[in-house]
DNA sequence: TCTGATCCCATGATATCCCACAATTTCCCA
DNA sequence: TGGGAAATTGTGGGATATCATGGGATCAGA
């Protein structure tokens, strides 16, 4: 498997460490770079995280703009300036920086949520809400498509 | 890691020294050149800083213009003319020149901000404002890109 | 001899490394 | 197919190294 899938809820220990779920670790290892690249998600209280693939994505985004151009500087400031590469200890744990925790309102437990090429880290309660809301929206959209019979028995919300 | 990321706020001591964040130091070491190359950022109250990679980039930028052309002279003046190479002491600290401090309005604390190939030094308050503004812009631009987002997943950035 | 720069050592707070362990899960082989 | 051995996983905590910072001593030039 080379994508982040499923979700896991884990605890921070007294030193603020969290284990990265085993299945995610093996995806990260495949990318072949030590450390976990993460940054505050732009438009939600969550942390975006991943390995070299995610870094490459950000780099490509910034690379579109000319060196020293205003836009590039701003992108770099907002993206590189707020991202960090967390060290992963021998047991596969990381320590979330205060800044990341504040952004996601994380205190003692976190939910890891696989999004394919990257994953997000949420405060579990907020994740549940977000999920419910997303499900709701999907359902509404399905409803609009109601004329098409396929949508009627929407496969619906898993979990 | 071979690029500057994240941001750190540090204090100047009574002698005007500031520690370069450890993670930045290791990036600089990789470039294999002693000293910190810096100059006042062109259009914002910040200091651009970096190692040999930054110097090379500037050289490339200037090299694109014909010798003796007006533009070349102006770039050279603005970049080379105002740049300095600060000495780094045994503990990884530098002393910012009065000129640099004045440009960035720095008094007793500074924010180091990673921009990938280089980093900037800001007065912390100004940095926060700039960050908020930049984040806003990125969000807006990402939204525009959203319409063509389908392309992102297709080729798949694995590796 | 004064001033500012440079070098060197000291120190508290983190961060990092390393070992431990219980609970599963996976594997293996009869 | 079952059951036990072995490897994995999430968690805990002590020991050590690193980092940011402070300040004395030394050195250079005026």
Widest CA span of chain B, in angstroms?
55
The confidence score (pLDDT) of residue A92 equals 95
**Secondary-structure percent of chain A, ordered helix, strand, coil, rounded to 5:** 40, 20, 35
How far is Cα B53 from Cα B80, in angstroms, rounded to an integer? 15
Answer whether residue B152 shows pLDDT above 70: no
| Count of CB pairs separated by less than 8 Å, A with B | 81
> Average pLDDT in the B2-11 region?
95
Q: What is the mean pLDDT of chain B?
A: 88
Q: What is the mean pLDDT of chain A?
A: 89
> Average pLDDT in the A120-132 region?
94
Percent of chain B at pLDDT > 70 equals: 90
The confidence score (pLDDT) of residue B75 equals 87
Residue B12 DSSP class: -
Are residues B45 and B103 in contact, defined by beta-carbon separation less than 8 angstroms? yes
Question: For the segment B82-140, what is each residue's pLDDT rounded down to a tens digit?
Answer: 899 999 999 999 999 999 999 999 999 999 999 999 999 999 999 999 999 999 999 99
Percent of chain A at pLDDT > 90 equals: 74
Question: For the segment A140-158, what is each residue's pLDDT rounded down to a tens digit?
Answer: 888 877 655 554 454 544 4
pLDDT band at A32 (very low <50, low <70, confident <90, very high): confident
The least confident of A109-123, A129-143, B98-112 is: A129-143
**What is the token pair recorded at A116?**
């394919």
Q: Which nucleotide is nearest to A19 (CA to C1')?
A: D10
- Measure Cα distances from B149 to A57, B44, B109 in Å: 13, 32, 41
Q: Looking at the complex, does the CB of residue B128 fall below 8 Å from at least one CB of chain A?
A: no
Are residues A36 and A51 in contact, defined by beta-carbon separation less than 8 angstroms? yes
Percent of chain B at pLDDT > 90 equals: 75
pLDDT band at A115 (very low <50, low <70, confident <90, very high): very high
Please name the member of B3, B43, B113 whose beta carbon is closest to the beta carbon of A77: B113
* Terminal alpha carbon distance of chain A: 22
pLDDT band at B2 (very low <50, low <70, confident <90, very high): confident
Please name the member of B44, B114, B135 whose beta carbon is closest to the beta carbon of A80: B114
A52 Cβ neighbours under 8 A, 6+ residues apart:
A31, A32, A33, A37, B159
CB B86: neighbour CB atoms within 10 A? 18
Q: Looking at the complex, does the CB of residue B42 fall below 8 Å from at least one CB of chain A?
A: yes
CA of A90 to C1' of D4 (A): 29
Are residues A106 and A121 in contact, defined by beta-carbon separation less than 8 angstroms? yes
Answer whether residue B34 shows pLDDT above 90: no
pLDDT band at A159 (very low <50, low <70, confident <90, very high): very low
Closest by CA position to A63, among listed B117, B143, B68, B153: B117
Strand partners, B114: B119
Strand A36-40 and strand A84-86: the pairing is: antiparallel
Answer whether residue B154 shows pLDDT above 60: no
Answer whether residue B45 shows pLDDT above 50: yes
- Measure Cα distances from A18 to A107, A157, B49, B100, B106 in Å: 12, 28, 34, 41, 37
Closest by CA position to A34, among listed A90, A87, A84, A92: A87
**What is the token pair recorded at A122?**
């949420």
Q: Is the dihedral of CA A43, A18, A51, B118 positive or negative?
A: positive
How far is Cα A144 from Cα A96, in angstroms, rounded to an integer? 41
The confidence score (pLDDT) of residue A148 equals 59
* Terminal alpha carbon distance of chain B: 17
Please name the member of B7, B43, B133 whose beta carbon is closest to the beta carbon of A82: B7
The confidence score (pLDDT) of residue A149 equals 55
The confidence score (pLDDT) of residue B46 equals 97
**What is the token pair recorded at A18?**
């969290």
| Residue B159 vs residue A114, higher pLDDT | A114
Kindly state the helix (H) or strand (E) to which residue A111 belongs, with its residue range: strand A109-114
Residues of B in contact with A56 (CB under 8 A): 157, 159
**Secondary-structure percent of chain B, ordered helix, strand, coil, rounded to 5:** 40, 20, 35
Residue B22 contacts strand C, CB under 7 A: no
> Average pLDDT in the A44-50 region?
96
Answer whether residue A43 shows pLDDT above 70: yes
Answer whether residue A6 shows pLDDT above 80: yes
**What is the token pair recorded at B23?**
């993670």
């Amino acid at each position: 498997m080379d994508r982040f899938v499923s979700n896991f809820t884990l605890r921070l220990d007294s030193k603020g460490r969290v284990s990265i779920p085993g299945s995610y670790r093996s995806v990260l290892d495949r990318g072949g770079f030590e450390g976990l690249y993460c940054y505050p998600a732009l438009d939600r209280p969550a942390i975006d995280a991943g390995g070299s693939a995610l870094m490459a994505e950000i780099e490509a985004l910034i690379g579109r703009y000319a060196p020293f151009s205003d836009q590039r500087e701003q992108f770099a400031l907002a993206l590189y300036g707020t991202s960090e590469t967390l060290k992963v200890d021998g047991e596969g744990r990381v320590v979330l920086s205060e800044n990341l925790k504040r952004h996601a309102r994380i205190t003692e437990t976190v939910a890891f949520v696989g999004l394919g090429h990257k994953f997000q880290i949420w405060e579990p309660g907020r994740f549940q809400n977000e999920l419910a809301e997303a499900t709701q929206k999907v359902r509404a959209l399905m409803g609009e498509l109601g004329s098409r019979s396929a949508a009627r028995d929407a496969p619906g919300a898993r979990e």
